[in-house]
Amino acid sequence: MACAPARHPRREGARKRLSLGSTVGRDSPARPVPRVEAPHDYGRGGQVTSSPQTQKLSRQEAEDFLFREAALLDDMRLDEWLELFTDDATYWIPEGKDDLDPKRETSILYDDRFRMEDRVWRLVRGPAHAQIPPSRTRRMISNVEVEESEDGEVVVYSNFAIFEVRRNEQRIFAGRYEHRLRLGEDALRIRRKKAMLVNNASPLYNLTFMV
């Protein structure tokens, strides 16, 4: 008389567990996947999709903003570049020293918003004779650092190199940027831009493009 094969106790236990209402198996209902938020992104005019309540700015976001500004300058889209600035903005290129009082010391350039608008108008539409023909430029931005200030704004430091070609002559300008950014409800704006050239104590011929 043939005997029934012995059942393995561990396999028998597994069968019992699966038969007692277990949800493990191919026909089990799928569990919902948690939603993944889209990364922060900047659109035209420095718009930011991150929540303004955080009042934080990551290095990646700062880099994207600086890259955007550099592209607008290199492409001579100066009207769009001007939109990146607040109404009380200043644009400053110190002379001789990086840290001085621009209201008491000589600067290579120290513009408020009105002067910036006038400068952009002359470069884009007016008779800017020093930029006929206009300079062709390409910028490189690196070593970006983000630092929060006590007044709720964000200070972004970066190194820059600008390659300019005009009238078959190439020049290179290098230095360090300091951008003081104001975080609004839907956009970043530049409240102050400071360009510290490494050769700001040397004679600079025809520096008439936007640094």
- Domain residue spans of the chain: 44-197
- 109 contacts: CB under 8 Å, gap ≥ 6: 91, 92, 93, 211
- Cα separation, 72 vs 185, in Å, equals 23
Task: State how beta strands 107-112 and 154-166 pair.
Answer: unpaired
The 8-class DSSP code of residue 131 comes to G
pTM: predicted TM-score of the whole model, two decimal places: 0.73
Q: Mind listing the pLDDT tens digit of every residue in the chain (211 residues)?
A: 444 445 544 444 444 443 434 444 444 444 443 343 333 444 444 544 443 444 588 999 999 999 999 999 999 999 999 999 999 999 999 998 887 888 888 899 999 999 999 999 999 998 888 898 999 999 999 999 999 877 779 999 999 999 999 999 999 999 999 999 998 777 899 999 999 999 998 888 888 899 9
- Cα separation, 184 vs 95, in Å, equals 32
- DSSP H/E element including 140: strand 136-148
| DSSP secondary structure letters along 30-60 | PPPPPP-PPPP-B-GGGBB-S-GGG----HH
Encoding tokens for residue 2? 């043939």
* pLDDT value of residue 99: 79
- Cα separation, 29 vs 36, in Å, equals 21
- C-alpha to C-alpha distances, 39 to 30, 46, 128, 184, nearest whole angstrom: 26, 15, 41, 18
Task: State how beta strands 188-197 and 136-148 pair.
Answer: unpaired
- Residue of 206, 178, 160, 209 whose CA lies nearest to 102: 178
* pLDDT value of residue 53: 40
> For the domain with range 44-197, which CATH number is right: 3.90.1150.10, 3.10.450.50, 1.20.120.420, 3.40.50.10420?
3.10.450.50
- 2 contacts: CB under 8 Å, gap ≥ 6: none
CA 11 to chain centroid: 60
